[in-house]
Amino acid sequence: MNAVNQQERLSIDERRNWFLAGFIEGEGSVCVSIKEHRNGKFGYLIDPEFFVYQHKNRQGSLELARAVFGTGRIYPKSGNPDVLVFAIDARKSLIERVIPFLDQYSIFSSKLSDYEKFKKIVMALEKKEHWTKEGMIRIIRLAYTMNLEGKQRKRDIQEVIDRILRDYTPDTA
């Protein structure tokens, strides 16, 4: 193949990455769980996670995701073993693998605003902004605007914020 052909044709890796980005557009999600936990700062743990779902008969695309990201695990979805989940939750992997990928391959995505919020939250956690009450509340407010304005959340946001403001003292600081 000459130089012109090489320029005209995207490399196989690039094609694979755009394909994966489209797959993630359909089957992927970013979410930020907020869990009550006695060891968490101000009584809460904040867990950003990246997921991709697929029927177990089509495992290939999840394996493609694992190959591209070079990390993550595949397991049956809780309560629905016909669906497999590919998940990455380690913060280092989110920062080094997932966010750069989503940044680079998001131009056709209609989920951009959730990605941007996800990224802000991961970077805020990395900067330990949740170690102050104000930072924690700011992160939680932002998390509650994700994924259709937090409709799937168990707890009302005011309940969470009130609990933080009541000066909950964690066991470990």
Find the binding residues for a second copy in span 53-72 (CB under 8 A).
54, 57-61, 64
Query: Does position 148 bind a second copy by CB under 8 A?
Result: yes
Q: Which of residues 82-111 bind a second copy (CB under 8 A)?
A: 105, 107-111
Question: Hey, what are 61's tokens?
Answer: 């695309």
79 in helix, strand or coil?
Answer: coil
**Residue 7 Cβ vs a second copy, minimum distance, rounded to whole Å:** 6
- Could you give the CA distance from residue 40 to residue 46 in angstroms, rounded to a whole number? 8
Q: How far is CA 95 from the centre of its chain?
A: 10
Task: Considering only residues 2 through 31, tell me which ones interact with a second copy, judged by CB under 8 A.
Answer: 7-8, 10-11, 14-16, 18-27
Q: Where are the beta strands (DSSP E) in the chain?
A: 28-36, 44-55, 73-77, 80-88
Q: How far is the CB of 135 from a second copy (least distance, A)?
A: 29
Residue at token pair 């809460």: 44
Give the phi and the psi of residue 88 in degrees, each rounded to 5: -130, 125
Closer residue to a second copy, CB minimum distance, 22 or 135? 22
| Residue placing its CB nearer to a second copy in the complex, 62 or 143 | 62
Q: Smallest gap, in angstroms, from Cβ of residue 66 to a second copy?
A: 13
